[in-house]
Amino acid sequence: EDQVTQSPEALRLQEGESSSLNCSYTVSGLRGLFWYRQDPGKGPEFLFTLYSAGEEKEKERLKATLTKKESFLHITAPKPEDSATYLCAVDGLRGGFKTIFGAGTRLFVKA
């Protein structure tokens, strides 16, 4: 059964304090690993797709990396506006159209 575990559940950073969020996954053949950002009261918003181990994607202060068992979302010099919940999700080859989500990491960045 496909599974996604995110850690930590919550992370509090000072502005400018870089850190990483972890996503561990078990999947029957990875079709894609996705990162989303969700602001309070809003729907998730797509950030990145990673397809194979070793792949990296960057967007502003965010960089996503992928290994065969984990993905990391690195946040460099975060700003208060980066505060949000970050969701990791996987599509497995046997899952068809069923994207499985982790519970998310709530990030708080204090000025």
Partner 1 sequence: IAGITQAPTSQILAAGRRMTLRCTQDMRHNAMYWYRQDLGLGLRLIHYSNTAGTTGKGEVPDGYSVSRANTDDFPLTLASAVPSQTSVYFCASSGDTGELFFGEGSRLTVL
Minimum distance from CB of 31 to partner 1 (Å)?
7
**Locate tokens 């204090």: which residue?**
110
Nearer to partner 1, 51 or 80 (CB): 51
87 vs 45: CA distance, rounded Å = 9
Q: Which of residues 6-45 bind partner 1 (CB under 8 A)?
A: 31-32, 34, 36, 41-45
- Least separation in angstroms between residue 78's CB and partner 1 is 22
Candidate residues 8, 15, 103, 110; the one interacting with partner 1 per rule CB under 8 A: 103
C-alpha distances out from residue 89 to 8, 15, 17, 80, Å: 15, 27, 25, 24
